[in-house]
Chain A
Amino acid sequence: MGGQTARIARFIGVRLAVSAPVILGIVFLTFMLIRMGGQDPVAMLAGPMADEAMLNALRAQLQLDQPLLAQFANYMVRIAHGDLGVSWQGGIPVLNEIRHLFPATLELVLLSVALAALIGIPIGMRAATKPNGWFDQISRFVSLAGFSMPTYWMGLMAILVFFYILRWAPAPMGRLSMEVAAPAVVTGSILVDALLEANWRAMGSALAHLALPVACFTMLAAAPMIKQTRAIVIEIMGSDYVRYARANGFSAATVRRMALRNAATPLLTFLGSELTSLLAAAALIEYIFSLSGLGQWGLNAILLGDFAVVQGYVLTLALFSMAIFMVIDLIVMLIEPRN
């Protein structure tokens, strides 16, 4: 037991040590790219009536008149003190905004990936048992449709059909209905916070508001999940040890169990990459359904050249991705007998 704990601690230590320069590189690249991309928030912030003196004063106030490397050094010092800067749009600290918005995005992404896994893995496995059979053909068509439909379009169609025509879905205008009181903020996730205070009305409203965006995102996430699972399982079913097991007369169910166990490692890794890529893709779904999450906030900041917000947004995505892959690799290390 002690050996296992030490192994985990060593693994985490090594991963953190390796991650640090990667994070530093991401911060540096983001910082430089946004500043060299021709964006200049000063003219926008000063307003349509600013003159040159006002622009210069504002540039100095935001420290944008300093050399780029000096600005970067200042930024790194602030990060080291837990200060991600302040959004120039309203002066709200970036870290506060991230704490406030990230739970909304996590709700959307985690529910979608969980549903996509629940749907995609069984379909992929079933399709792999009889490649080119009727079920496989249908599943390939479904996954192709999921791949081909743009998220934006899917979201708009969902609103048109389920909100505008059928009136089944609530107004795509936030995470809760206006007449429903929000639960006290504990985690920031309305679902979790409503559960904590047994506020079933808020829970129902939050679930209703998440239904369409999660359905759209699930379709997007399930398509590659079906394809990936099918490919992995077909490969495993054709492997020497499965053929050996079959030759030894093991039942089909036992063989499937063996295949699933061996497919777990690549599927888990794929799930991790799905989570991180969906987090980055959440912006569009949040935009269409007015979910006010991290993606919508980041997208808006990119368009308006809100440097501190863009940096905070990218840093959050990078840290989240690192954390997800670390957790997945840790699980793989623990379940993989060869490790």
Chain B
Amino acid sequence: MAQEKTLVMAMSATPKGFDPDIWVPGQIEAAVNLYEGLTKYGTRSGANGKVEVDPSKIEPHLAESWTVSPDGKTYVFKLKRGVRSPFGNELTAQDIVWTYEKSALQKRTGQFMRTAARIEKVEAVSKYEVRYTLSDANRIFLGALTLHLPAIFDASEAKKHATPDDPYATKWLALNTAGYGPYHLQALQAGQQAVFVVNPNYAFKKPYYTKMIWREVPSPATRVALVRTGQVQYAEQIPFQQLTALRADNTVKVESVPGFGGATVRMNPRFPPFDKVKVRQAVAYATDYAAIGEAVFLGQGTRSRSMLNSPIAGAVNAYKYETDYNKAKQLLAEAGYPNGVDVTLEYSTNWWWEEPLVLQMQASLAKAGIRVTPKRIPSTEMLARRTINVWTVPFLTHLTSSFVPDPSYNMFLTAHCRGSSNVNANCDAAMDKLIDASVVERDQKRWLALIEQAQNLQADSATFIETFLPGTHEVFAACMKGYVWKPHNRLVWKDLSCNS
């Protein structure tokens, strides 16, 4: 019998559920290790010699190959044979079909991904072949299939837990796992710990760790103490302020990646004074980027230069604003506010940087006559008020992020009038047209031109103040190796091992 290797993680909370279709705290962090996609991103050697994701390369995973019709609307995937769940059931086309039926019934996140990737129909062609029919050929589709959602469930196992009222076993799947990924849930003690064990039938390289113990440690200070004393091998969500000290500590290892999620301040053009582009541009010029980099992100962030950032393909330096108070004052005067303007900047505590960023913005905008009143609101209120078609927050902080490093997908999500992460009524017909065109454009050159145009248009409209990419900073015990950042920005356990 192989030796059991256990990794203990200090996490802020135990997962509240495991069904990727239902978002609850901790679900994504677990689900990316329990469910895997038909495709996966390729990797390449990064600048420092480390392995990194190559978003331009999509490779087979649970599907071993695929064919695509000339019009790009029909894909037939041939499933890898011998892929088995921990329950011993083999992955077949019926599992995929069942998964999509379940998502359609639940109408949650899986269904959104289906809509975003324009998936019209999913059918079993044979036991090991599945056909996807798309409403439009699009560039998002294959990237979306790298994700853990809609999760590919072991339908045979899940059906055992179905009831007449719950034909897709959603209640059971919320608190249990049945996938083809590297790990599955062994035990959950809500509020205390979750234990995951390796899928003994995992069809790919066997993970180094056979058991993952997820301990709930809500206090970040306690998590730091635990990783420094070697009681845990990984601690999540460590405050920025601690990272410098941890980097100097040879008992721990800090892995930092810029990522592509940007800390932004957004203006809703449906509310005055932000209905005037010159006011928005004045805010962009009155922002002290250097001070934000130093005081908020402690020199550890990366300046964001567009609504898209590397490693997303086609990202350009579209956001050209630099701090210039005179220009800001001039723009304000031209917009009809020669004596300055009073605004309220609302923020919540979804991300640690929001409050310091708001305070820094308040200080620097005041220098151009933009008098900011910071207002902290509950996270749930922020989420509800900034929701698409509600849009009642005139001036707010927001993190631009997504699971798929595809430019069209990201732009659609955040800057299209129908994008679900459009939090500030960013509705511009010209922008929507460019994004829509980029989603279905199959010619690489024309596609890149559309993406560049859209980024420039967005920067000119200045509804987003692009500040910094906070980055991802993972803290491990010193022996840990193998960490590879993934676009979903969650830790993938199967990559990890220990030198000892």
Contact = CB atoms under 8 A, between A and B. Distances in A.
B191 A90 contact: no
A100 interface: yes
B378 A173 contact: no
Interface stretch (A9-17, A218-226, A256-264, A283-291): A283-291
Interface centre among B228, B377, B380, B387 (most CB of A within 10 A): B380
Interface stretch (A156-164, A234-242, A317-325): A156-164
Given A173-B231, A173-B232, A304 B215 contact: no
Interface residues of B, number: 54
Given A92-B190, A174-B192, A288-B219, A40 B381 contact: yes
A288 B222 contact: yes
Interface string B145-156: 000000000000
Contacts of B306: none
Interface in A39-59: 39-55, 57-58
B219 A48 contact: no
A173 B107 contact: no
Contact of B109 (A47, A156, A163, A296): A47
Contacts of B390: 52
B378 A38 contact: yes
B107 A54 contact: yes
Interface in A287-307: 287-290, 292, 296-297, 300, 303-305
A48 to B, nearest CB: 6
B333 interface: no
B383 interface: yes
B231 A171 contact: yes
Contacts of A57: 107
A49 B112 contact: yes
Given A48-B421, A305-B378, A172 B222 contact: yes
B210 to A, nearest CB: 15
A175 B190 CA distance: 13
A53 B388 CA distance: 10
Contact of A290 (B111, B217, B377, B383): B217
Given A48-B23, A164-B229, A178 B221 contact: no
A138 to B, nearest CB: 31
Contacts of B107: 53-54, 57
B60 to A, nearest CB: 25
A89 B228 contact: no
Contacts of B384: 40, 42-43
B80 interface: no
Interface stretch (B9-17, B32-40, B358-366, B443-451): B9-17
Contacts of A2: none
A40 B421 CA distance: 17
B231 A89 contact: no
B73 interface: no
Interface of A: 37-55, 57-58, 87-92, 97, 100-101, 156, 159-160, 163-164, 167, 171-175, 178, 287-290, 292, 296-297, 300, 303-305
